[in-house]
Structures are given as structure tokens and as C-alpha cells.
């Protein structure tokens, strides 16, 4: 029976009930040692009814062994591994040691854990209970938390118990487990120990009503003390450590045996160790009789984790090293490496090498956090400073890939101090420093660091950083330096970008030559550079195709944590071609992954894109909130690209809401912003909006200047959307009747349906004001219907008002929704992938979902669309142009036939 825990039980019951109904979630039980967290977990497991229960307990002795806890959780359900998408299944098998080779990417592993838990949840739901989470190894913790943040459509409840302030990232629901209420504590003491009420009050005051402390102390009091006939001892027995006195009361052999169990836990290993430690085998009975530990199944179990802590505190350092040395002789692999480290006295290259090998095994299986810990300890044991620096550098990389940028920076700073005269190592460390800064720190500092290198790869990193900052001078200089390297795709791209930025006539030719080699590319980073080349030429639609390829490659190849960065560009590309719902879904996913990884600047990128999407829909509160959050990161980090996009969102919001003067001021400031707070590419891409705002504000001169700037930037573009926007700019600034021809040309060229609707609105307005309402109405009606379907309410209201002014006699009802408009962004992405011919398992692998989650979404999609099969869904997607806003089909068709 649990005393005084009705509130905590109610909270857990709610999580369990929601999971049983298909609305999964995770909760953290947080409290001090002895507060009763384990009892609450046991109660929750018993209250799950028919739900399956998987359990694991963090063990301090195994906290450095990659995937030790995950092995506990998943081992009973490994028979379902074949149901997983192949990349996910491979990652999980590698993590659990069921297959040779590497699992690689931690996102694939996290998705695989989610999929396997989802399989285990069928048919009645799943309770996954993890106790002592503060001691769960980092690799397991990362994978479990990845899954915990994605349970919304699963029949899974994940319950974590954690001591004190140990972090549990990304699980918002916490149930605090304090000391018991006074009345409940008194009832517990009276019922179980016969404690008198007055004595109970003293015990509660002395223990803060900690259940474990209450029980341990009451058990050691005399009957007279329990009844209040004699005073309580002062201080109370056990004190804060509770078990320290009982451990020190053991004989020396029993204390040594307890130490072996505290370090090893595995019963067979403990028994073999006793053969090498005289007297300890005979002490087994004494240890059990003390009540501090029991022999249970294959393990030695302490009565409470605090007993293990007390054993360690009571042990002499020499005894700890002696026990580790014995266990090292009896183990192999990762366990042997860590026991050797525990036995080491001073630096030892042999031990450091074994730990380094253990780190490599963990890293190959996706356990980057564990690898970082092993390499950092190996560095401590390494005698030679240069070798120590290499291991610290490798530890920093592992920490970075494991989503711990703060730890990565600290390790790398230490490595830098030790690098000494090794120029190659110093350069490698510098490149990593630059990459860390670019992902999570000051982008301008990244440029300074990376520009010191001469190799083409480092120059590429420097140009990427300069592009984020928005520093044209640095881009030009880096392109000039890249031109000195032998011809090739990357060299032509970098040199071409630099020369084109400088206005040199040879630049576009180099970019065309680089783009002609895209058929030879295979890596996501290469496709992103190809997209940069296309963007430099002003061909945003081609750039979007190439970015889309990068995203596809990144999802299936294992990008070792770089996927959130790739998704920055995928989300932007989807927006630029008018697939607004898809852009929203990608940015929401990328934002979550970026926060997981600790990539602060990528968080800003996704926030800024979400702000633009909100501006297009006229959602002022969301736009302003997301833009504010993005600017709060981007400006101090001098990421001008993302600061510029966030500033653009606010300007676009003003334009959307008809506040032309305010929009004109914002666009003018955006165009004038320098590196770190603005970006020339953002200024160029948004020039068509700036032209419209300036004309609306009555500043024709500024509009013409912006139109000319856009024309110069698009001089080398060969794709239709750039020419469509250029024609729209001409129409806006031309006061003559020829403006209509320019708008008509734009409408013929547009591939972005949302931008086509904006052009149709502008043309309709011009025709109505020219007293040509009959010609205006079809354009205004098209614009109104497109805006309504896209959820762009302010644009729709403006088009509807113009339509009425042009004599439209309709009742003003919204147009019928396009078939796919009823789908959420996530559902739309799944529908598009179904149309591409992917199975549920393949879609799950692409989107880091479980196959059951994909099927759940399909189950919701079919009735929304009035269909009943994947074939009908695929046909409908193709017929409607594959998205809520339409696509023009070009990108999809090109990629379908890769």
C-alpha cells in the first residue's frame, strides 16, 4: 500500500489512460533518494491492466557501457525487429550487439527504438518504465528520449524516475515526489512500526518525511523509543546517508564483497571474483543476512541504490582499484576497458588504448555520448600530450554528434591547449572549432577561424560560414583563394560563387560547369553546394530541386546529426516553390531535431522560416513570436541569413495586412542591413515584395530602384520563376497600359502557385482601376480561391474586396476546398510519399516515424478524403498537383525519375 500518494498516482493514471487510448506520452518522476519513486513505478505498472510492461533500471556500474539500459528495455521484444524499416532495424541491431557493423546515425536509432516500442505496444498498449534514469548510459538515454518526444500517436506511456536535478531533456511533464504529507507519514509509521503520534511528528521533522528514511530509522529504534517512553537518539541513527553505519558494521571481507557487487552487479562475475579475493566467498551469507543485498536471479541486488553509494563511500581507494583490477582480468571488451581504467594509478597508455577502442565501438553503434565519455577518460590516462590532444579532439567530435555542444566546446578547448607544434592537428582542431561556432555560436567568429585554412574543404566551410553571416567581401576573397585549387565540382562552385558575387563575367560560367556535374554527386553536402550555385545564378526553383535531393539523401544515408541543418534548406526550398504546408512540416521536424542536437543557429533558421509562413497566412501573433525568438538567437550570433529571414517575415506580415508604409520601412532597413544582421541574398530574393511595399507606400523611386536591383541579380537566371517575378516587378513600376502585358507574362511563367495568385491579385487590381472590371474578375477570383485554400486570410479578404468592387455578384462564400486541403502538414507529406510509391516502412524510415504511426495517419487520411486505398490516394495526389498549394509538378517529376 502507498501512503499519501494519491495525487502522484492520479497523474500517472492519466498518462497511462491517454496512452491506452492512442495518445502516448512520457512523464518524469523526480525526487530525492528514498522518496518512493520506485514504489510509484511499481504501482503504475500494476495499474496498466492488459498493457505490456517493459522495464529497465539504471545501474551506476553500467553507466559507461553504451546501450546497457536499452538492452534491458528492448531485449524482450527483439523478436519484432523484422517489422522495422530496414535502416531502423539495422541501427537497433547494431546498438544491441545483434549485428556486426555500425548503426551510425542516432536519429535512425532513435526512430528504430520508437518503431520497436510501437510494435511491442500492439494490441493493448505499452508501459515502459525506467528507474534511476540518472544512471542510464548516455547512448540509451538519447535513444529513449528521442522516442519519448514522439509518442503522440502511439499507445505507449514512458515513465522515467530520476533522482534530484538530473536532466531529462525534452520531457515536459514532471511529477514531483516530495516527502509524504504529515498525516500519511504518521499513518505509515503507526501501521508498519507501531510509532506513537508524538514520536512520528519528531521523525517526520527530522527526515522531511522521506519514506525510506522513516522506515530505516524506525526499524532501528527500541520499543520504548517507538512508544515515546524514552527520548529519541540525537542525532537520529543513519543520518543523511542512512546505510553508512550498517555498511561499516560489516566485516572486512563482507565489505570487500559488497564493493565487488557495487562495481559489477552480475552474480556470476561476482562469484568468480570471490575466487581471487580471499575470504569474500564466505562473506556471502553475512552480506545477505545484513539485509543490505540479496542474490536474485543473475544479479546481486542492493536493497536500495543508496546502499551502493554507502559501499563506495566506505571503501578505501586502494580496495576500489584492487576490485577493478580483478574484474578486468575476468571481463573483456568495453567492460574490461572500464575496469582497467578504474584500476589505473596514474597515466597508462595501454589502458587509454583499450578505452579508445571501446569508444570506437560505441560510436559505430550510434552511442556518441558514451564514446565522448570514454575518449575523455582515455585522454586523462594518455601520457603524451599530442596523443592526449587527439583523443580530446575525437571526444569533442563525439560529444558534438551526440547533441552536447557545450561539452564538445570544452573538450576541444582542452585539446587546443595541448596541440603544441603539430600544425596538422592544430588545423583540424581549428576546423572543428569553426564548425561548432557555425552550428551553435558566433558565425562571424567561425569565418575568422575557418578562413585561416588553405585546404579546399576548409575554404568551403569558411565560405559557408561567410554565407550565413552575409559577408560578401569574405565570400569574394574565399572564392578567389578557392580558384587556385585544381578544377572540380567543389572548386568550380566556390570560385564561381566568389566571382559572380564580385560581378566578374567568368563566375556564371564556372557555376554552370559545376551544375553540369550534378549527375556525379552522391552526398547531401554536395547537393547543398549545387543548390548554392543555382541560387547564386538566381534560379531558386532549380536550387529547390537540388535541396530536395539533399534532404532525401540525408534521410537515408545517416548524416551523423547533420540532418537538422539540411532541413533548413529543404524547408526554405519548399516555401520558395509554394509548397507551404510541406515547408511547415519540414520546419517543425527540423526545429525539433535541432533542439535535440543543440544546434542553436539551426533552431533560429527553422523559427525564421515558420515566421515567414505565418506571415503569408496573416497570423500576426505566431509570426511575431517566431520572428522574435529567431532574432534573439541570430543577431547576437551574427547569423545574418537567419536574422534577415526573420526580419523579412515581419516586413511581409505588414505587407500582407496592408500596412504598406510600415512594410516599406522594414524592407528598406532589410536591404541596408550589414553582415550579421542582414543578408544580400535575402535582400535580393525579397526585392519583389519590396517593390510592392514601396508602390503601396507611394515611393515610386524606391520601387524602381528595387526592381532594377532584382533585375541585376536575376541577369544569369534561366529558370521561369525568377523571370516571372521580374515581370511582376516591371508591371508594378510601369504606370502605362503595358504593365498589363508584364503581369500576363508573369502569370504564364509562374511555377509557384502562391506567387501566381499574388500576381493575379495585382493584375486584377490594376485592371479594375483601369475601368476594365470584366477582365479583372477572373484574375481576382483565381487569387481569392488560391488564398482561401492556402489559409492566407488577409490576402483572401483583399482579393474578395477587389472582386466585389469589380462587380462580382456572388454571395462571398469560400470556394470549395481542394481535395488535399483538409490534411495536416504531416498527413500531406505522408500522402505525397505514398504517391511516390513508398511503403509504410519506407515512409517511416524517411520521416523517422514508426510504421504504425504512418498507418495511423493513413487511417485518418482515408476518411478525410473519402477514399479507401493507397492507390486512390496516390491517384488523388497526382491529380491535385501533390500539395495543398499545388506544385507545378516539375520538382516531383524530376525526382521521381532519378
The predicted-structure confidence for 399-439, as pLDDT tens digits, reads as follows: 988 888 889 999 999 999 998 888 999 999 999 999 999 99
Contacts of 655 (CB under 8 A, 6+ apart): 663, 689, 692, 693, 696
Give the pLDDT score at 897. Answer: 27
CA distances from 329 to 259, 322, 326 (A): 17, 11, 5
Alpha helices in 122-175 (DSSP H): 138-148
Arithmetic mean of pLDDT, 737-761: 94
Does residue 395 register a pLDDT over 80? yes
Q: CB–CB of 669/654 below 8 Å?
A: no
Higher pLDDT, 482 or 219: 482
Return the pLDDT at 455. Answer: 92
- Read off the pLDDT of each residue in 382-398 and give the average, rounded to a whole number: 95
Q: Which of 160, 159, 168 is nearest to 127 (CA)?
A: 159
SS3 labels along 593-604: HHHHHCCHHHHH
Query: ∠836-841-844 over CA atoms, to 5°?
Result: 85
- What is the mean pLDDT of the segment spanning 352-377? 93
Question: Does the pLDDT of residue 819 top 80, yes or no?
Answer: no
The neighbour count for residue 6, using CB atoms within 10 Å, is 11
Question: Got the DSSP string for 798-857?
Answer: HHHHHHHHTT--S--PPPPPPGGGGS-HHHHHHHHHHHTT--HHHHHHHHT--HHHHHHH
The model's confidence at residue 612, banded by pLDDT at 50, 70 and 90, is: very high
Q: Which helix (H) or strand (E) holds 754?
A: helix 753-769
Collect all residues with Cβ–Cβ distance below 8 Å to 893 and sequence separation of at least 6. none
Q: What is the mean pLDDT of residues 310-335?
A: 94
Residue 32 has pLDDT above 60, yes or no: yes
In the Cβ-directed half-sphere of 406, how many Cα atoms lie within 13 Å? 1
For residues 30-40, give the mean pLDDT: 93
Q: pLDDT category, 717, cuts 50, 70, 90?
A: confident
Q: Which residues contact 714 (CB under 8 A, 6 or more apart)?
A: 538, 722, 723, 725, 726
Would you say residue 304 has pLDDT above 90? no
Residue 191 DSSP one-character state:
H
| Distinct helix (H) and strand (E) counts, the chain | 48, 7
Q: Looking at the predicted structure, is the pLDDT value of residue 872 above 60? A: yes
Angle between the 489-501 and 506-515 helix axes, to the nearest 10 degrees? 150
Share of the chain above pLDDT 70, in %: 95
CA-based end-to-end distance of the chain: 64
What pLDDT shows up at residue 888?
A: 34
Note whether 547 and 568 are within 8 A (CB).
no
- Higher pLDDT, residue 24 or 421: 24
Q: What Rg, from alpha-carbon coordinates, does the chain have?
A: 32
pLDDT of residue 241: 63
Q: CA-CA distances (angstroms) from residue 356 to 321, 391, 402, 410?
A: 20, 8, 17, 19
Tell me the pLDDT band of 810, cut-offs 50, 70 and 90: low
Taking only the tens place, the pLDDT of each residue in 205-215 is 888 899 998 99
Q: Say whether pLDDT at 515 is over 90.
A: yes
The pLDDT of residue 385? 94
Give the model's pLDDT for residue 538.
Answer: 83
**Mean pLDDT along residues 560-586:** 86
pLDDT at residue 728 in the model: 96
Whether the pLDDT of residue 303 is over 90: the answer is no
Q: Which of 117-121, 329-333, 534-538, 645-649 has the lowest mean pLDDT?
A: 534-538
pLDDT average, residue stretch 536-550:
87
Contact in structure between 711 and 671 (CB atoms under 8 Å)? no
Chain mean position to CA 53? 27
Provide the pLDDT confidence category of residue 811 given band limits of 50, 70 and 90: very low
Q: How far is CA 507 from the centre of its chain?
A: 37
Show Cβ contacts of residue 590 under 8 Å, excluding neighbours closer than 6 positions: 563, 564, 567, 568, 570, 571, 602, 605, 606
| pLDDT confidence tier of residue 887, bands split at 50, 70 and 90 | very low
Centroid of chain to Cα 470: 26
Q: Average pLDDT of 359-386?
A: 93
Handedness of CA 520, 436, 379, 407 (dihedral sign): negative
Q: How far is CA 353 from CA 100, 137, 382, 391, in A?
A: 21, 21, 8, 10
User: Percentage helix, strand, coil, to 5, in the chain?
Assistant: 70, 5, 25
- Of 704 and 503, more confident: 704
CB 859 within 8 A of CB 831: no
Residue 552 has pLDDT above 90, yes or no: no
Dig out the grid coordinates for 541 from the structure: 526553383
What is the average pLDDT across 780-806?
Answer: 90
Identify the band that residue 889 occupies on the pLDDT scale cut at 50, 70 and 90. very low
Of 202, 211, 263, nearest to 242 by C-alpha is 211
Residues in the chain, overall count: 898
Amino acid 561: pLDDT? 64
Whether residue 884 is predicted with pLDDT greater than 80 in this model: the reply is no
Contact 828, 581 (CB under 8 A): yes
Of residues 521, 395, 529, the one with CA closest to residue 461: 529
What was the pLDDT predicted at 201? 93
> Which of 163-167, 547-551, 647-651, 820-824 has the weakest average pLDDT?
820-824
Residues 6+ apart with CB under 8 A from 372: 138, 359, 395, 396, 398, 399, 402, 404, 407, 408, 411
| Residue 701: other Cβ atoms inside 10 A | 9
Please say whether the beta carbons of 470 and 675 come within 8 A.
yes
Write phi, then psi, for 179 (nearest 5 degrees).
-65, 165
Of the pLDDT bands very low, low, confident and very high (cuts 50, 70, 90), residue 147 is: very high
- DSSP-assigned states of every residue in 87-132: HHHHHHHHHTTSSSS----HHHHHHHHHHHHHHHHTTT-EEEEEE-
| Mean pLDDT confidence for 245-249 | 88
Whether the per-residue pLDDT at 896 is higher than 60: the answer is no
pLDDT at 265: 80
Q: Residue 117 above 90 pLDDT? A: yes
Report strand pairing: 293-296 vs 126-131. Answer: unpaired
- Tens digits of per-residue pLDDT, 832-851? 889 889 999 989 888 888 89
Closest by CA position to 733, among listed 693, 768, 680, 686: 693
* Residue 283 pLDDT exceeds 70: yes
Q: What is the dihedral of CA 896, 877, 799, 574, to 10 degrees?
A: -40
385-401 and 368-381 are packed helices; what angle lies between their axes, rounded to 10 degrees?
170
Amino acid at each position: 500500500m502507498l501512503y499519501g500518494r494519491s495525487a502522484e498516482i492520479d497523474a500517472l493514471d492519466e498518462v497511462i489512460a491517454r496512452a491506452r487510448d492512442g495518445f502516448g506520452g512520457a512523464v518524469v518522476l523526480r525526487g530525492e533518494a528514498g522518496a518512493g519513486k520506485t514504489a510509484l513505478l511499481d504501482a503504475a505498472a500494476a495499474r496498466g491492466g492488459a498493457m505490456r510492461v517493459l522495464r529497465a533500471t539504471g545501474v551506476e556500474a553500467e553507466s559507461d557501457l553504451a546501450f546497457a539500459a536499452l538492452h534491458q528495455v528492448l531485449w524482450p521484444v527483439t523478436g519484432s525487429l523484422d517489422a522495422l524499416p530496414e535502416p531502423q532495424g539495422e541501427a537497433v541491431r547494431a546498438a544491441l550487439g545483434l549485428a556486426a557493423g555500425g548503426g551510425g546515425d542516432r536519429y535512425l536509432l532513435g526512430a528504430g527504438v520508437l518503431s520497436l516500442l510501437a510494435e511491442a505496444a500492439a494490441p493493448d498498449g505499452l508501459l515502459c518504465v525506467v528507474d534511476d534514469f540518472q544512471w542510464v548510459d548516455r547512448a540509451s538515454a538519447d535513444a529513449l528520449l528521442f522516442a519519448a518526444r514522439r509518442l503522440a500517436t502511439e499507445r505507449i506511456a514512458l515513465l522515467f524516475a530520476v533522482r534530484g536535478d538530473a536532466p531529462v531533456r525534452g520531457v515536459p511533464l514532471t511529477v514531483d515526489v516530495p516527502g509524504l504529507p504529515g498525516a500519511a507519514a504518521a499513518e505509515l509509521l503507526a501501521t508498519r512500526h507501531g510509532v506513537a503520534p508524538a514520536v512520528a511528528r519528531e521523525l517526520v521533522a527530522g527526515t522531511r518525511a522521506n519514506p525510506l528514511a522513516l522506515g530505516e530509522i524506525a526499524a532501528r529504534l527500541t520499543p520504548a523509543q517507538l512508544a515515546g517512553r524514552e527520548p529519541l537518539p540525537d542525532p537520529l541513527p543513519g543520518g543523511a546517508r542512512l546505510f553508512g553505519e550498517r555498511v561499516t558494521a560489516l566485516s572486512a571481507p563482507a565489505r570487500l564483497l559488497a564493493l565487488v557487487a557495487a562495481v559489477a552487479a552480475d552474480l556470476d562475475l561476482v562469484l568468480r571474483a570471490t575466487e581471487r579475493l580471499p575470504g569474500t566467498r564466505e562473506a556471502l551469507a553475512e552480506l545477505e543476512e545484513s539485509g543490505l543485498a540479496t542474490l536474485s536471479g543473475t544479479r546481486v541486488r542492493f536493497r536500495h541504490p543508496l546502499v551502493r553509494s554507502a559501499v563506495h563511500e566506505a571503501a578505501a581507494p586502494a580496495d576500489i582499484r584492487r576490485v577493478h583490477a580483478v574484474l578486468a582480468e575476468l571481463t573483456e571488451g568495453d567492460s574490461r576497458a572500464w575496469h582497467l581504467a578504474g584500476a589505473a594509478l596514474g597515466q597508462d597508455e595501454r589502458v587509454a588504448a583499450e578505452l579508445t577502442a571501446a569508444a570506437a565501438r560505441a560510436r559505430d553503434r550510434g552511442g556518441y555520448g558514451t564514446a565522448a565519455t570514454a575518449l575523455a577518460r582515455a585522454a586523462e590516462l594518455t601520457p603524451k600530450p599530442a596523443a592526449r590532444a587527439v583523443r580530446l579532439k575525437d571526444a569533442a567530435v563525439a560529444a558534438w554528434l551526440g547533441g552536447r555542444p557545450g561539452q564538445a566546446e570544452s573538450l576541444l578547448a582542452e585539446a587546443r591547449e595541448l596541440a603544441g607544434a603539430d600544425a596538422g592537428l592544430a588545423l583540424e582542431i581549428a576546423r572543428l572549432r569553426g564548425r561548432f561556432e557555425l552550428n551553435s555560436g558566433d558565425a562571424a567568429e567561425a569565418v575568422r577561424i575557418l578562413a585561416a585554412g588553405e585546404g579546399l574543404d576548409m575554404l568551403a566551410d569558411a565560405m559557408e560560414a561567410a554565407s550565413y553571416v552575409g559577408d560578401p567581401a569574405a565570400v569574394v576573397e574565399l572564392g578567389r583563394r578557392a580558384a587556385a585549387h585544381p578544377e572540380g565540382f567543389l572548386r568550380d562552385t566556390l570560385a564561381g560563387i566568389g566571382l559572380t558575387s564580385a560581378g566578374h563575367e567568368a563566375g556564371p560560367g564556372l557555376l554552370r560547369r559545376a551544375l553540369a556535374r550534378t549527375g556525379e554527386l552522391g552526398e547531401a553536402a554536395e547537393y547543398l553546394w549545387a543548390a548554392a550555385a543555382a541560387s547564386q545564378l538566381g534560379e531558386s526553383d532549380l536550387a529547390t530541386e537540388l535541396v530536395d535531393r539533399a534532404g532525401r539523401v540525408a534521410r537515408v544515408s545517416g548524416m551523423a546529426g547533420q540532418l537538422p541543418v539540411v532541413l533548413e534548406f529543404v524547408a526554405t526550398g519548399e516555401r520558395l516553390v509554394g509548397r507551404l504546408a510541406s515547408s511547415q512540416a519540414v520546419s517543425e521536424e527540423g526545429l525539433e531535431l535541432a533542439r535535440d542536437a543543440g544546434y542553436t543557429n539551426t533552431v533560429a533558421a527553422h523559427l525564421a522560416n515558420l515566421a515567414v509562413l505565418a506571415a503569408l497566412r496573416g497570423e500576426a501573433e505566431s509570426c511575431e513570436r517566431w520572428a522574435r525568438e529567431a532574432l534573439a538567437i541570430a543577431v547576437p550570433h551574427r547569423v545574418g541569413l537567419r536574422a534577415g529571414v526573420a526580419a523579412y517575415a515581419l516586413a511581409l506580415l505588414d505587407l500582407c495586412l496592408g500596412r504598406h508604409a510600415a512594410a516599406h520601412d522594414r524592407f528598406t532597413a532589410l536591404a541596408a542591413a550589414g553582415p550579421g544582421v542582414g543578408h544580400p541574398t535575402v535582400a535580393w530574393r525579397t526585392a519583389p515584395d519590396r517593390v510592392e511595399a514601396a508602390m503601396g507606400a507611394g515611393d515610386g523611386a524606391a520601387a524602381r530602384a528595387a526592381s532594377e536591383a532584382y533585375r541585376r541579380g536575376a541577369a544569369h537566371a534561366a529558370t521561369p520563376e525568377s523571370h516571372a517575378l521580374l515581370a511582376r516587378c516591371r508591371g508594378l513600376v510601369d504606370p502605362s497600359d503595358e504593365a498589363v502585358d508584364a503581369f500576363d507574362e508573369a502569370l504564364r511563367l509562374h511555377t509557384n502557385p502562391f506567387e501566381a495568385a499574388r500576381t493575379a491579385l495585382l493584375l486584377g487590381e490594376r485592371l479594375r482601376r483601369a475601368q476594365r472590371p470584366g477582365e479583372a474578375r477572373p484574375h481576382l477570383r483565381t487569387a481569392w480561391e488560391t488564398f482561401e485554400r492556402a489559409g492566407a486570410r488577409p490576402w483572401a479578404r483583399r482579393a474578395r474586396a477587389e472582386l466585389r468592387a469589380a462587380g462580382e455578384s456572388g454571395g462571398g462564400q469560400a470556394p470549395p476546398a481542394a481535395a488535399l486541403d483538409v490534411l495536416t502538414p504531416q498527413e500531406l507529406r505522408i500522402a505525397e510519399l505514398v504517391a511516390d510509391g513508398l511503403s509504410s516502412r519506407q515512409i517511416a524510415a524517411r520521416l523517422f516515424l514508426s510504421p504504425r504511426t504512418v498507418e495511423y495517419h493513413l487511417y485518418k487520411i482515408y476518411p478525410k478524403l473519402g477514399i479507401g486505398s493507397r492507390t486512390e490516394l496516390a491517384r488523388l495526389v497526382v491529380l491535385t498537383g501533390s500539395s495543398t498549394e499545388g506544385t507545378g509538378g516539375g520538382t516531383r517529376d524530376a525526382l521521381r525519375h532519378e
